[in-house]
Amino acid sequence: MARRRQAVTIKHVAADAGVSMQTVSRVINKEPNVRPEMQARVQESIDRLGYHPSIAAQRMSGSRSYLILALNDRERTIAEWQSRQGSDWVDQMLLGGMLKCAEHGYRMIFELVDTHNDHVERELKAAIAALQPDGVILTPPHSDNPLIVGLLDEYGIPFAQIGSSGGEGGSAGGIPLIMGDTQASSNATQHLIDLGHERIGFIKGPDDYVLSRWRENGWRSAMDEAELSAEGLSAQGDFSPASGRIAALQLLDLADPPTAILASNDHMAISVLEVAQERELAVPGDLSVISFDNTPIAALANPPLTAIDQPVAETTSRAVELIIAAKRGAKRPDSPIDIPSKLVLRASTAPPASATTRRKSGT
């Protein structure tokens, strides 16, 4: 019977290189106080022996755990997973976060935390006690939850607040990152205005998301700049398909309905398409539609949706970099890091029918 090969440990590397285990750990963790020749010597032993560092070995260099904890809202995340409707927020967050963590010898742990205040503090304290993370990434609506940010400040844990300006939660220790929601919404609205639309409806996101307000502000600012009335053209949604349907019916039942609708996420925009089909409204001939997020369902819709593409992976990657830098003593940014979104043009937008008629008649 073949003998099981013994796993290579940090002790083997230290003995092979003729250095202490602490020195090996500093090389593994890319500490700045290691001479280049010593780093090359230890790395040669690591490569030759086929050593793969463990979390325990990394922790030998000091107080770091080399774990970054990413938190997402439990209720909405589970609902999206169960519906299997193509939302890839979590996928993109893990893509950007895990790859960047790997570059720095870190691991990302993903946890779902209840939004409700009577649960969130207990759940977060339990996660911190079990994992002792070097940093935490918060996503909406957790990014501005005063209980969460206050607890992280109390523990002295660096944390990134995605989709937050940093002021809502009352924290002095967070690192806010935004994805240009206001400007993106304004740009999308301006695209519709440039096509000739004057009646542009807007479906809002839930009030507990700060970015819902930013997106509405972008729509209103573009309408105001073009001297177009937004009165009565907004409808409340909560990011769910059902709320998108109710909002679409509300807007299209107006005496003077919109010729275009900007929805605050893809699921609600898909509901707009379904309502339009039921009413035999052609998209984009009778109604133009733009969505937020640009998840896979936007490109697969019929017609494919013009959508605001949010750089979730890039933003999470940047959050990891900033947390690691903060853990190493770097000064935190004085203002929110802005990673802008972009508008992806597809087949769901066109000039309104009235504008097309005017062009054909030459008036």
Q: What is the mean pLDDT of each run of 10 residues along the chain (363 residues)?
A: 58 89 78 82 88 59 79 88 84 95 92 78 84 92 89 90 75 84 97 98 94 96 97 96 97 97 97 97 97 94 96 96 90 90 97 59 36
Residue 249 vs residues 155, 242, 269: alpha-carbon distances, Å:
47, 11, 12
Structural domain contains residue 4: no
CA neighbor of 292 nearest in space, from 272, 312, 274, 267: 267
Which CATH number does the domain housing residue 207 bear?
Answer: 3.40.50.2300
| Same domain (yes/no): 243, 354 | yes
Q: Is the dihedral of CA 77, 341, 91, 95 positive or negative?
A: negative
| Same domain (yes/no): 197, 162 | no
| Same domain (yes/no): 235, 355 | yes
Structural domain contains residue 3: no
The pTM (predicted TM-score) of the whole model is 0.79
Alpha carbon 109 to its chain centroid, in Å, reads 16
| Same domain (yes/no): 53, 80 | no
Structural domain contains residue 2: no
Measured from the Cβ of residue 224, the count of other Cβ atoms closer than 10 Å reads 11
Structural domain contains residue 21: yes
User: How many domains are there within the chain?
Assistant: 3
Structural domain contains residue 113: yes
| Same domain (yes/no): 124, 36 | no
* Beta-bridge mates of residue 236: 204
Task: Give the whole-angstrom CA distance, residue 67 versus residue 97.
Answer: 11
Contact (Cβ atoms closer than 8 angstroms) between residue 177 and residue 97: no
Structural domain contains residue 207: yes
| Same domain (yes/no): 157, 298 | no
- Helix, strand, or coil (residue 226): coil
User: Given this model, what pLDDT does residue 5 score?
Assistant: 46
Q: What is the DSSP letter of 159?
A: E
| Same domain (yes/no): 288, 256 | yes
Strand locations in the chain (E): 67-73, 107-113, 135-138, 159-162, 174-178, 200-204, 234-236, 260-263, 288-293, 306-309, 337-338, 342-344
CA end-to-end span of the chain, whole Å? 91
Q: What is the DSSP letter of 144?
A: G
| Same domain (yes/no): 156, 141 | yes
Structural domain contains residue 339: no
| Same domain (yes/no): 134, 167 | yes
- Up-side HSE of residue 177: CA atoms within 13 Å toward CB? 27
- CB within 8 A of 18, min separation 6: which ones? 41
Residue 61 vs residues 21, 51, 66, 114, 263: alpha-carbon distances, Å:
9, 17, 11, 34, 49
Contact (Cβ atoms closer than 8 angstroms) between residue 46 and residue 13: yes
For 44, phi then psi, to 5°, come to -65, -40
* Beta pairing class for 342-344 and 306-309: antiparallel
Which CATH number does the domain housing residue 28 bear?
Answer: 1.10.260.40
Residue 348 CB-density burial (10 A; 0-12 exposed, 13-18 middle, 19+ buried):
buried
| Same domain (yes/no): 167, 282 | no
Residue range(s) defining the domain that contains residue 121: 67-179+312-332
Structural domain contains residue 271: yes
Q: Which two tokens stand for residue 20?
A: 């202490």
Per the listing, tokens 């009646």 go with 199
The DSSP secondary structure of 286-309, one letter per residue, reads T-EEEEEE--HHHHHSSSPPEEEE
Per the listing, tokens 């029918």 go with 353
Region of residue 18 (phi > 0: left; psi between -120 and 50: alpha; otherwise: beta): left
| Same domain (yes/no): 191, 296 | yes
Contact (Cβ atoms closer than 8 angstroms) between residue 263 and residue 237: yes
| Same domain (yes/no): 280, 142 | no
